[in-house]
């Protein structure tokens, strides 16, 4: 059984849906869950604002984001690389 190290930052893979802001992209992350009572699978979509130094990411790019310190009111993630 693997033990998870809580000191590692949270990473997720998603798609860039907006790149209109300076040094910020909006990343949409999809995950699949199962209902606890009815056991039906459904998808959950969540959007995160992520920091990027250069504007090298466009709409439709698949990226990996990682949790970091709060950069602004909404930004709590930064883009690590293209997926």
Q: Which residue has the higher pLDDT, 59 or 83?
A: 59
What does DSSP say about strands 62-67 and 11-21: parallel, antiparallel, or unpaired? antiparallel
Q: Measured between alpha carbons, how far is 14 from 30 in angstroms, rounded to an integer?
A: 7
* Domain coverage including residue 64: 11-82
Q: What are phi and psi of 51, to 5 degrees?
A: -85, 135
Give, for 18, the enclosing helix (H) or strand (E): strand 11-21
Flag whether 5 is in a domain. Answer: no
Q: Which of 56, 67, 64, 60 is nearest to 80 (CA)?
A: 64
How far apart are the C-alpha atoms of 71 and 63, rounded to whole Å? 19
What's the CATH code of the domain at 66? 2.40.50.140
Q: What is the mean pLDDT of the chain?
A: 92
Domain assignment present for residue 6? The answer is no
How many domains are there within the chain?
1
Residues 37-75 pLDDT 10s: 999 999 999 999 999 999 899 999 999 999 999 999 999
């Amino acid at each position: 059984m693997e033990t998870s190290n809580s000191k590692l930052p949270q990473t997720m893979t998603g798609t860039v849906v907006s790149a209109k802001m300076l040094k910020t992209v909006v990343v949409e992350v999809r995950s699949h869950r199962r209902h606890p009572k009815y056991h039906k699978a459904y998808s959950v979509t969540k959007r995160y604002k992520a920091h990027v130094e250069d504007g090298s990411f466009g709409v439709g790019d698949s990226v990996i984001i990682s949790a970091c310190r709060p950069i602004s009111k909404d930004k709590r993630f930064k883009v690590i690389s293209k997926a």
